[in-house]
Amino acid sequence: MDSARVVSKTISDFRNHCFEEGDKFWYAAIVPQSTLSGLDDTEEYEYVELSAPEVDEDGTLAQIIAFSDDHDVAEFSTDEGRPWACIRTRLQREIGLDPDDGDDDENMEVVIRECETETLEGLNVHRVSAWEQEDRDITTQGLAGYISAGDMDDTDALKRGDVCELINPETGSRIQLPIETYDHKNRKDNTIRINGITRKLLRVDSKDEGEDNEVRLRILTEVDEEEGTVERASKWLGRRFVDYSYSNFRVLPGYDRDEGRNVVRMNEDAMKGLGIEENDRVLLSWLRDEKRRRNVRCQSGWEEDKDLEPEATPESSYGEEESLSVRIPSTERDNLNISVGDSIQIRRDMRYQAGKQVSLSAFGILGVVVGTGQLINMVFEQITFAYVVSSVSIVLVLSVFTVWLVMNPIRQKCRTPE
């Protein structure tokens, strides 16, 4: 495997002409084209390992992309000719560098190594047909990519339902989806079926819509931390009492004023689809990276912000128009290890919704408890063990039932319209 050495710098060390539009916001290693070309088995937007020179173990996995054609390697390199690479500060720290000591080029050297990742290359994109959509409730079931059983069987590391990363090889945009097989007379190997919204998010076409109709599928082999018993119980109760709907959104740069404020912005229609209101809290996450899930407040964008407006989607999607974009400031993107152009999953925070609704209905719930106590006092003439057990049981049951009723309007907000 080939490798290359660069000196890590941040965005402020380069000029705007060094980047293609949006490139400087990538959570990746941006290198001169000559450096990328020196890695014989690595193409743009593929993954490499980044590490400090003295580190022998596996490095940090990141995408690699090239500067724009206007970038001058000679201008942005050390006196010894070592090229500079643009790497975000948080990624520098993950590699093991100290950005606070960045004046010393020797201390900011990074080794870029080629690496092998489990991928399916050049999958031709086909649209998802009605037979795959007819029984799916997109508010409570994840969207999926469908490949042939042959492609699934040929890949030992991939099983049905595994979450994988789909990458547009032309733009580097990513989305994570469960991968399923399908049984249909038109099934073909080396193809993947995804719905219109997913194609729109990735900026790819189906075979009958255009020429940009290939994606790369990366199998995520990183070890997941399994949910604990408390987390599973909390999610089970949350779905029964509060519920949620979710969707995938393409990441846009956030407003400067939102940096460090724990705020994201989306279209009001998109918020309605998630069953939330202005200033409600939502969860942002990669499906296979729950430990980096972010809990943030959601607000609408400025009126003149046309990039958050709904986009027309192909007829094979679930609607004619969808609000597909969300503005996320760099402080939140860095915590999630995502880049502008990626598509992440967003859903409402069930705990926040429960607390919000219960607090509004506190007096009604208190009335049930007091009324139940009065009823039990009428049945029992004196305090006995049976009195205590009955009191606690009845109050508990009626309180749970009351809370379930109180939460009904919240649950209905994320139901699929008839």
pLDDT tens by residue, 143-153: 789 998 888 98
CA distances to 58, 120, 139, 259 from 99, in Å: 21, 36, 42, 20
The larger pLDDT score, comparing residue 398 to residue 331, is at: 331
Given a cut of 60, whether residue 189 has pLDDT beyond it is yes
- Whether 313 and 372 share a structural domain: no
Contact assessment for residue 132 and residue 93, using Cβ atoms and an 8 Å cutoff:
no
Spatial distance between the Cα atoms of 117 and 256, rounded to a whole number of angstroms: 36
pLDDT tens readout for residues 32-66: 999 999 998 899 999 999 998 887 778 899 999 99
pLDDT of residue 14 exceeding 60: yes
344 neighbors 248 (Cβ within 8 angstroms): yes
pLDDT (average), residues 110-135: 80
Residue 183 corresponds to which amino acid?
D
Mean pLDDT of all residues belonging to the chain = 83
H/E stretch holding 166: strand 163-167
Two tokens at 272?
A: 């309605």
Residue 243, pLDDT > 80, answer yes
Convert the pLDDT of each residue in 359-416 to its tens digit: 766 666 667 666 666 666 666 666 666 666 777 777 777 777 877 888 888 888 876 4
Q: Is 243 left (phi over 0), alpha (psi -120 to 50) or beta?
A: left
Taking the CA atoms of 198, 203, 207 and 210 in sequence, report the sign of the dihedral they define.
Answer: positive
Pairwise CA distance, residues 224 & 222, whole Å: 6
Average pLDDT, integer, range 120-147: 69
Whether residues 233 and 308 fall in one domain: yes
| 384 falls within a domain | yes
Considering the domain architecture, whether residues 60 and 159 belong to the same structural domain is answered as no
Q: Are residues 8 and 107 in the same domain?
A: yes
Provide the domain limits for residue 20: 3-114
Using pLDDT thresholds of 50, 70 and 90, give the confidence band for residue 224: low
pLDDT band per the 50, 70, 90 thresholds, residue 284: very high
* Amino acid 304: pLDDT: 85
The CATH number of residue 206's host domain is 2.40.40.20
Same domain? For 84 and 196 the reply is: no
Cα–Cα nearest to 337, from 296, 287, 289, 265:
289
Beta strands in 245-383 (DSSP E): 246-253, 263-266, 281-285, 294-300, 311-312, 321-322, 325-328, 343-348
Nearest to 123 by CA among 91, 93, 165: 165
Q: Is 418 domain-assigned? A: no
> What is the pLDDT, as a whole number, of residue 251?
94
pLDDT of residue 376: 64
Confidence of residue 139 (pLDDT cuts 50, 70, 90): very low
**According to the model, what pLDDT value does residue 418 have?**
35
Please answer whether residues 28 and 66 qualify as being in contact, where contact means their C-beta atoms are separated by less than 8 angstroms: no
Side-chain half-sphere exposure of 169, counting CA atoms within 13 A: 16
Section 284-297 average pLDDT: 81
Regarding whether 366 and 346 lie in a shared domain, the answer is no
Inside any domain, residue 387 = yes
Q: How many domains does the chain have?
A: 4
Q: How far apart are CA 104 and CA 82, in angstroms?
A: 13
Cβ atoms of 1 and 111 closer than 8 Å: no
* Helix (H), strand (E), coil (C) string for 77-129: ECCCCCEEEEECHHHHHHHCCCHHHCCCHHHHEEEEEECCCCEEEEEEEEECC
| End position of a domain, from candidates 186, 219, 252 | 219
**3-state SS class at 50:** strand
Q: Is residue 250 part of a domain?
A: yes
Q: Do residue 343 and residue 382 come from a single domain? A: no
Which span out of 200-204, 209-213, 234-238, 241-245 was modeled with the highest average pLDDT?
200-204
Residue 80 falls within a domain, yes or no?
Answer: yes
Q: Which helix (H) or strand (E) holds 194?
A: strand 191-194
Q: What percent of the chain has pLDDT over 70?
A: 83
Could you tell me if 138 and 248 lie in one domain?
no
Task: Tell me: do 380 and 318 sit in the same domain.
Answer: no
193, β-bridge pairs: 126, 146
Helices 229-241 and 350-360: crossing angle in degrees, nearest 10, is: 50
Residue 323, pLDDT score: 81
Q: Is the pLDDT of residue 23 over 90?
A: no
Let me know whether 244 and 348 are in one domain: yes
**Separation between Cα atoms, residue 301 and residue 299, nearest integer Å:** 7
Last residue of a domain, which of 114, 143, 176? 114
Residue 85 above 90 pLDDT? Answer: yes
Of residues 318, 311, 327, the one with CA closest to residue 416: 318
The pLDDT tens digits for 169-183 are: 999 999 999 998 887
| Predicted local confidence at residue 249, as pLDDT | 93
Same domain, 89 and 141: no
In a domain, 182, yes or no: yes
CA–CA dist 59, 50 (Å, integer): 5
Q: Are 245 and 222 in contact (CB under 8 A)?
A: no
Please indicate, yes or no, if residue 340 is contained in any of the structural domains: yes
Output the pLDDT for position 388.
Answer: 67
- Percent over 90 (pLDDT), the chain: 38
On whether residue 332 sits in a domain, the answer given is yes
**Residue where a domain terminates, one of 219, 254, 288:** 219
Same domain assignment for residues 215 and 126: yes
